[in-house]
Structure 1
């Protein structure tokens, strides 16, 4: 069985380096999203739930999982495969880390190195109603598989098992992201760059935010300007704002910002929007979009929420305003919000946000 010393002398250091670089790129990974893994001597070393890839070189973020019994559990549709905690190699996991909620995705790919990202270029195509056809035109000649949206965890693993062909090294996950796999970290990085390049488009240029107006709209409220100014484009670009108003496009939006997007009505202030939510027995929205002006976020918005506020702008800016989109259903959102694995990840993100403040 592999141990950490063995891994340090093989592909583990390159994996940590790639993970940190990928995790620092907001067009590839946002907050605690995305994960990487390495298979070594029957053990799957996978990014732990709630940890951030950008910290891969600084912190111990990888947890060892016994591969063979996990794969058998997926085949048997055993609920234990859902969290994969039952397959952790405890003696090599002194920090008590929990495996990523997408551990089964990595296990099902037979290649040694697997990289899963929430690439905005990929998501902006994977949310379209004709995603498989559109992406197929761009990935001609590559061995790839499209997997329609399923909740991460065992449902997604089963869908991948049913659709993936032998030799497939690229998965495009509907309304979710991208997975690439290879035998070495260098090969995985090359493939990641190639696929992202083929899927890339020039984003629409959004008008600048009206920060003076936003500050007036925030007066007397628990709202502030976002830490990442790029987030404003989701509201200042009216095509993006219309897309956001229609529903939720991908899972992490639900987890960090809530279901859908809250669009302020003409004349609304942040105080008024929060009051409406309270009157309807809803929590005050984490983010409010003011069409043509920009966005405000709640003062207690954590680093994860900030990252996903920007992600909304980055994704929608790359979608043709006339494209037919597939949004997550209310049931999809309910499954995510009430899923224990996601509650755990949210709590870790909340703690990290508090530590950064």
Structure 2
């Protein structure tokens, strides 16, 4: 443990991880992951941990790189969690590797960074994403990977499309990956792509807090604390986009598929009684967003993310929400249920 924590490159990666982990335009909650390859070991973010904690506690898990790569190539089901390849003596907290460990292992770069950049998602959610991205990413060594479930399926899809020198990946309906010889190189590529894909979010009307209070009366719901989250409901075009469905995996995992609305004059308590389980988020068109009182910090972060993405999109664009089968797969995937159940950082 002492050797890796004294490694200047490891410290640089942790510092960068903490910085982007605190930027909701790049990372939301426990999303995203980073890694460093050193002496045959892949040090990758632990499942369910927050990158924002990378300098406060050990969130990186050591995984034996060659055995994991061999398992992936052989179709060994142990590659799914990578847990059997963890170097236990250097993982005293018993952390579990990121569900994207195979992605990090498959790329040759010493440092790999995977983020859920809202600028990227706003393009990756389009049906014509690859063609739309081509002129904007001209000159970069990049590849587009159509949506497929994270984990080994995504890793195999990436391997099938990799060309020599590819160091940027745009994951359809998912996010952005960049690799480099060191943290600075990978970080520069992340910043370059985000800059090229930047779209200004539409300014949205403020929430109607009185309306929200009335809708939440006698229920377990409260107005979302982050004022920007309410744009989902107060910006008409953002609401029209949100009504189309879920556009990326973490929306499904933390908020459930799509959105649940309260009709004008409706009450949260009435909506909940009519559903098999109380949704994490309720959208009150024209007024704002309600979150369940017990909503996790991760869920709140993903509600804000939905506002950040939908205010960058227009319902007239050729958008491609996730299929119902993909949503079902995510909601019933043990690895994602494990990640969602991990505690958020303490304030």
2:42 equivalent in structure 1: 44
1:55 equivalent in structure 2: 53
**Is 1:352 aligned with 2:339?**
no
Deviations 1:86-108 (A, max 9, x none): 11111111111100000111111
1:88 aligned residue (79, 86, 89): 86
**Which TM-score applies when normalising by structure 1?**
0.95
CA distance in 2, matches of 1:80, 1:253: 26
Is contact 2:49–2:344 with CA below 8 Å preserved after alignment? no
CA distance in 2, matches of 1:37, 1:286: 31
1:322 equivalent in structure 2: 316
CA distance in 2, matches of 1:262, 1:330: 16
Query: Which consecutive segments of 4 or more residues in structure 1 shift more than 4 A?
Result: none
The structural deviation recorded for 1:6 is 4.2
2:233 equivalent in structure 1: 235
Is contact 2:298–2:344 with CA below 8 Å preserved after alignment? no
Distance change (3 Å), C-alpha of 1:221 and 1:35: same
1:338 aligned residue (318, 332, 346): 332
Deviations 1:194-242 (A, max 9, x none): 1110011111111111111111111111110112111100110111111
Count of residues in Structure 1 that have an aligned counterpart in Structure 2 = 347
Provide the secondary structure at the position in 2 that maps to 1:64. Answer: strand
Is contact 1:245–1:263 with CA below 8 Å preserved after alignment? no
CA distance in 1, matches of 2:2, 2:151: 26
Equivalent positions of 1:1-80 (< 5 A) are 3-80=1-78
Provide the secondary structure at the position in 2 that maps to 1:137. Answer: coil
**Which TM-score applies when normalising by structure 2?**
0.97
**Is 1:189 aligned with 2:187?**
yes
Is contact 2:238–2:314 with CA below 8 Å preserved after alignment? no
Is contact 2:241–2:314 with CA below 8 Å preserved after alignment? no
Provide the secondary structure at the position in 2 that maps to 1:254. Answer: helix
Provide the secondary structure at the position in 1 that maps to 2:63. Answer: strand
The structural deviation recorded for 1:4 is 4.0
CA distance in 2, matches of 1:302, 1:80: 30
CA distance in 2, matches of 1:63, 1:143: 29
CA distance in 1, matches of 2:151, 2:63: 15
Is contact 2:50–2:344 with CA below 8 Å preserved after alignment? no
The unaligned stretches of length 5 or more in structure 1 are none
Deviations 1:107-156 (A, max 9, x none): 11101000100000000110100000111111001000000001111110
Q: Which deviates more from structure 2 when the two are superposed, residues 310-319 or residues 259-268?
A: 259-268
CA distance in 2, matches of 1:7, 1:218: 48
Provide the secondary structure at the position in 2 that maps to 1:266. Answer: coil
CA distance in 2, matches of 1:308, 1:6: 32
CA distance in 2, matches of 1:204, 1:271: 31
**Is 1:285 aligned with 2:279?**
yes
CA distance in 2, matches of 1:82, 1:269: 42
Deviations 1:43-98 (A, max 9, x none): 10000000000000001100000111111111112111111111111111111110
